[in-house]
Amino acid sequence: MIVKASKESEAGVMPSEKLLAAMGKFNEELMKAGVLLDLSGLQPTSQGARVKFADGKRTVVDGPFAESKELIAGYWIIQVKSLEEAIEWARRAPMDADPDAGTEAEIEIRRFFEMEDFGPSAAIDDARKLEKEILEQRKQ
């Protein structure tokens, strides 16, 4: 679940205490339900950069980036059984917990590709090996 950026988030305005508390409760619900894998907020794009690839060249573009409605302010990685279940969790997110903040919010829901989504190939076999190595490193 991807939280879209707003003018406020891009300006570096931190969420209110009221919203942070509501988000904390929501995050606990996700954790208790056993669906939460990871979550985080992202700094404004003024603190980042983009690396563009075109015509065999790599170009670095420093933030901020102009179109805030296409930017990401944060995310939750959840593991659920269906798109419908993900939608239900997104609908429960307390994005409007602080009416005094007056901001709009949008959550986009996207699936990760799984190795099973790809057909057989040497590159996918290599990716599976790498995935196993990463999992082993995390255990250490």
- pLDDT for residue 123 is more than 90: yes
What percent of the chain has pLDDT above 70?
Answer: 98
Q: What is the pLDDT of residues 51-88, one digit of tens each?
A: 999 999 999 999 998 776 689 999 999 999 999 999 99
For 63, list phi and psi in degrees, rounded to 5.
-75, 170
**What pTM was computed for the model?**
0.86
Q: Looking at residue 101, what is its pLDDT?
A: 75
Check residue 39 and give its pLDDT.
97
CB atoms within 10 A of CB 32: 9
Residues 59-80: b if buried by 16+ CB within 10 A, e if exposed: eeeeeebeebeebebbbbebeb
**What value does the mean pLDDT of the chain take?**
92
> Which pLDDT score is estimated for 66?
77
